[in-house]
Amino acid sequence: MVNSDYTPDTAEVPTMSALLPSSGRGMFAGKLLVLIVSILMSIGIVVVYSSGAGWAVMTYSSSEYFLWRQLIFSLIGIVTVLFVAQLDYHVFWKTSKIILFASIVLLTLLLALKAVGLISGAARWIGFGPLKFQVSDFAKYAIIFHFSRLISEKQGFIRDLHTSYYPMLTLLMVVVVLVALEPNFSTATLIAMIGFTLMFIGGVNMRHLISTILVLIPVAAVYVITSPYRSARLKPLNSANEQGATWQVIQALIGLGNGGLFGLGIGASKQRELYLPLSYNDYVFVVIGEEYGFVGAIAVIALFVGFLVCGLMIAKHAPDNFGKFIATGITLAITLFAFVNIAVACHLFPSTGVALPFISYGGTALLFNSLGVGILMSISRYKKPEVERSVPVEVTDGSRV
């Protein structure tokens, strides 16, 4: 059990001053990661302009509307990566409780505003004017930060049901349920997967984990089936012909087919011309496949595989458990969202509304992911000391969360 009033002092919490500069695989992986992210952002600027020009003219009377905004957000994203890379990533250890509490408050506030009619439709965004962000993006990173801290603290009793598993499961389910009620079932599912994966690699009892998943699967199935619009999204996957598919699915498959092996060329996409909804966001991978062909699509997938490998290398060579878990969580979050988006574009998954990281149009998601890359860079700058440092855990009453 852990004392709820116990807080590690500065000497007990791992800090950069106690770690050694890295010059090995971790640092190499970090540099390669920045190169991959820079390439992905550059692709995003070009493809968002190509895919969104027609929609921008129709909506904003300027074909360059999405281009300039994506360019500005990408530049801010690069600055964010470079700035956060210089920080001590243990700042997220010290602030993880506050960040998680803030995310829960914001998610609750969204539902409250929806309940009183101030928000109509899905309650996902908060802010004023152009200064809006999707709270689920914030909540996703909040879970990664705090779970990385909790799992690091609880290593001595990580398999215990009451003092380890139940507290983490409770926090995860609170966030997942609030996101699902926005409604944003796809993101809620992905956050749950990230949380359970962190618990798995952290060493929780597998029986507890499997039992929970076996209970949640039918609950999630009922939640999907009882919602007409969610269940409608599943029907195209079971359809053997175009008549059973949705407009989005048909146009996406046409676009991918048009691309052939080498594509139609930059700016030559036909589906972007108001045929494919959200061609600059959810279905941006279709435009990549159409303009750059099978070769271009595979190249983008290879970049995300490279991102995954670099992130896992950074996690493997992280200087402490907190760095290992937070690097794994961030890497999993970004690559998982990427491959879900690609699977939706290829008609392997139902439509989810998940954007393609660093490429899809959108500022806040790009900035949150840039924050994640900056943290990975910060972790990669240091290596494990010869004598492993760990955070002492004081055993008392078991109420710490």
Q: What average pLDDT score do residues 51-69 get?
A: 83
Structure tokens at 321: 């458990």
- The span from the CA of 383 to the CA of 247, in Å, is 51
10: in domain: no
Whether the pLDDT of residue 214 is over 90: the answer is yes
Whether the pLDDT of residue 170 is over 50: the answer is yes
Classified as helix, coil or strand, 256 is: helix
Q: How confident is the model at residue 4 (pLDDT cuts 50, 70, 90)?
A: very low
390: in domain: no
Comparison of pLDDT for 190 and 350, the residue scoring more: 190
Q: Contact at 8 Å (CB) between 367 and 76?
A: yes
Which residues on neighbouring strands pair with residue 134, listed in sequence order? Answer: 125
Which H or E run includes 102?
A: helix 91-115
238: in domain: no
pLDDT tens-digit profile of 76-109? 999 999 999 999 999 999 999 999 999 999 999 9
Whether the pLDDT of residue 121 is over 80: the answer is no
Q: What average pLDDT score do residues 262-276 get?
A: 80
Whether the pLDDT of residue 18 is over 60: the answer is no
pLDDT at 280: 80
Contacts of 229 (CB under 8 A, 6+ apart): none
396: in domain: no
395: in domain: no
Residue range of the domain that includes 68:
20-229+244-383
Q: Contact at 8 Å (CB) between 48 and 361?
A: yes
Comparison of pLDDT for 246 and 371, the residue scoring more: 371
Whether the pLDDT of residue 199 is over 80: the answer is yes
Which H or E run includes 383?
A: strand 382-383
Number of domains in the chain: 1
6: in domain: no
Q: Contact at 8 Å (CB) between 204 and 155?
A: no
299: in domain: yes
Q: Is 170 exposed, middle or buried (0-12, 13-18, 19+ CB in 10 A)?
A: exposed
Classified as helix, coil or strand, 21 is: strand
166: in domain: yes
pLDDT at 244: 46
Whether the pLDDT of residue 251 is over 60: the answer is yes
- The span from the CA of 143 to the CA of 150, in Å, is 10
Q: What average pLDDT score do residues 197-217 get?
A: 95
Percentage, residues of the chain above pLDDT 70: 83
pLDDT at 235: 64
pLDDT at 3: 40
pLDDT at 213: 94
Q: Contact at 8 Å (CB) between 148 and 90?
A: no
Q: Contact at 8 Å (CB) between 132 and 119?
A: no
Taking every pair of C-alpha atoms in the chain, what is the biggest distance, in angstroms?
Answer: 66
Which span out of 144-153, 254-263, 358-367 was modeled with the highest average pLDDT? 144-153
Phi/psi at 2 (nearest 5 deg)?
Answer: -125, 140
